[in-house]
């Protein structure tokens, strides 16, 4: 169990974030067309997992925009934006913003992902959502970088996440 904060207030997070050097746990999440999308569906690509509570918050929306812009020119890389938002809300946000360099995945049927990736908020007003985290995987699903953001209302370290892909 890890502890982060939400606007300075302590929040418990269950599980452990995969660490650099480990193999990423398999997952199944919900794509925009309500189909199941697995880690194996992205085989052979490098992956940036941008994990956050909801695209309807300013910091989460900013992270989607920044990864959309910054990861665009990195070869053989896909950015997966993962939140509890329904696929319809994710699509609406990205459509309105003109963001087409990221893929949204919902934890709608992804309780196992939330536990296996150590991002389950266990208490406080966001209980049941995911903490803010970034996990970067190579083509073989080995973890290159991971960050559990200590303050949920703050942005992740984009530079550190993307530097392992250059």
Residues annotated as catalytic are 60
CA distances (Å), origin 147, targets 44, 86, 96, 157:
23, 24, 28, 8
Cα atoms in the Cβ-side hemisphere of radius 13 Å centred on 143:
17
Answer whether 13's CB lies under 8 Å from 138's CB.
no
Answer whether 164's CB lies under 8 Å from 51's CB.
no
Contacts of 2 (CB under 8 A, 6+ apart): 12, 13, 16, 17, 118, 131, 148
Q: Give the whole-angstrom CA distance, residue 5 versus residue 24.
A: 25
Q: Which residues pair with 162 in a beta bridge?
A: none
Answer whether 98's CB lies under 8 Å from 64's CB.
no
């Amino acid at each position: 169990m890890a502890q982060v904060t939400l606007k300075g207030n302590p929040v418990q997070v269950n599980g452990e974030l995969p660490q650099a050097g480990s193999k990423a746990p398999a997952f199944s999440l919900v794509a925009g067309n309500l189909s199941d999308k697995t880690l194996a569906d992205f085989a052979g690509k490098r992956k940036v997992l941008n994990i956050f509570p909801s695209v309807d918050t300013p910091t989460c929306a900013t992270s989607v925009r920044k990864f959309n812009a910054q990861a665009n020119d990195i070869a053989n890389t896909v950015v997966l934006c993962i939140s509890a938002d329904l696929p319809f809300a994710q699509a609406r946000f990205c459509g309105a913003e003109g963001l087409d360099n990221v893929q949204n995945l919902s934890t709608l049927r992804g309780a196992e992902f939330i536990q296996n990736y150590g991002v389950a908020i266990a208490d406080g007003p966001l209980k049941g959502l995911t903490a803010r985290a970034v996990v970067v995987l190579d083509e073989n699903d080995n973890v290159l970088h991971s960050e559990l953001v200590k303050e949920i209302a703050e942005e992740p370290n984009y530079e550190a996440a993307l530097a392992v892909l250059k």
